[in-house]
A and B are shown apart, each in its own frame.
Chain A
Amino acid sequence: DAKTTQPNSMESNEEEPVHLPCNHSTISGTDYIHWYRQLPSQGPEYVIHGLTSNVNNRMASLAIAEDRKSSTLILHRATLRDAAVYYCILNEKGRQLTFGSGTQLTVLP
């Protein structure tokens, strides 16, 4: 499985945008980019996924670099409830989701 690299931790101020980076330089053409987050004492929660084009949903936006070797999860307005571990995962169609260690996001009031 292709690997991803994320910062161990990030901080953001409440009500400000947050840009969570992910590097995946060995991505293959059939790998989808998935983002999940995990709040304390809960199971992971699906956030968003994409293949080549940028994606938007009610939770976040996913910006994918033109060469697909990196991507950024954008939370447009962070709230205290967005504090969680965010996982960037490459997923080939039908294959398992392989979680790394993720980015611990702290939101400051």
Chain B
Amino acid sequence: EAGVAQSPRYKIIEKRQSVAFWCNPISGHATLYWYQQILGQGPKLLIQFQNNGVVDDSQLPKDRFSAERLKGVDSTLKIQPAKLEDSAVYLCASSLELIGGAFFGQGTRLTVV
């Protein structure tokens, strides 16, 4: 079974530039999550989708972050404009059931300079 795919693996941008991350979840998984993990901390949820609807985006900085899930499958997370404090690993995860385990991708390491 293929895992959660994310791209790119690494990205370096200057502050005030924009960036987009892509995620392809495990086939058939209805729930998709985007997490932000700052170095030395546990992952923090940014947004949770159930199919193509948003379940929870309460911790998404909506003035600069946006996310969509096309046709309930792939998802993109965008930051515009980026700030220095956005430097982190952005993790995508998916799960089959609401109570099941979530499977994570390898993440995208973003450095904002």
Of B14-22, B64-72, B77-85, B93-101, the one with at least 4 CB within 8 A of chain A: B93-101
Selected interface stretch from A65-73, A75-83, A92-100: A92-100
How many residues of B are in contact with the other chain, CB < 8 A? 24
* A45–B98 alpha-carbon span in the complex (Å): 17
**Residues on the A chain within 8 Å of B43, using CB:** 44, 99
Consensus secondary structure, chain A interface: loop
Nearest chain A residue, comparing its CB with the CB of B107: A43
Number of chain A residues close to chain B: CB under 8 A = 23
Let me know if A101 and B45 touch, CB within 8 A.
no
Nearest residue, chain A, Cβ from B46? A96
Q: Which of B91, B102, B106 contacts A46 (CB 8 A)?
A: B102
Contact with B along A34-59 (1 / 0, CB 8 A): 10100000111110110000000000
The interface bits of chain B over 34-52 (1 if a CB of A lies within 8 angstroms of the residue's CB, else 0) are 0100000111110010100
- Which residues does chain B contribute within 8 Å of A100, judged by CB atoms? 42
The answer to whether A43 touches B91 (Cβ under 8 A) is yes
Name 21 interchain pairs, CB-CB below 8 A, sorted by A.
A42-B107, A43-B4, A43-B91, A43-B93, A43-B105, A44-B43, A46-B104, A48-B101, A49-B101, A85-B42, A93-B98, A96-B33, A96-B45, A96-B56, A97-B33, A97-B102, A98-B45, A99-B42, A99-B44, A101-B41, A101-B42
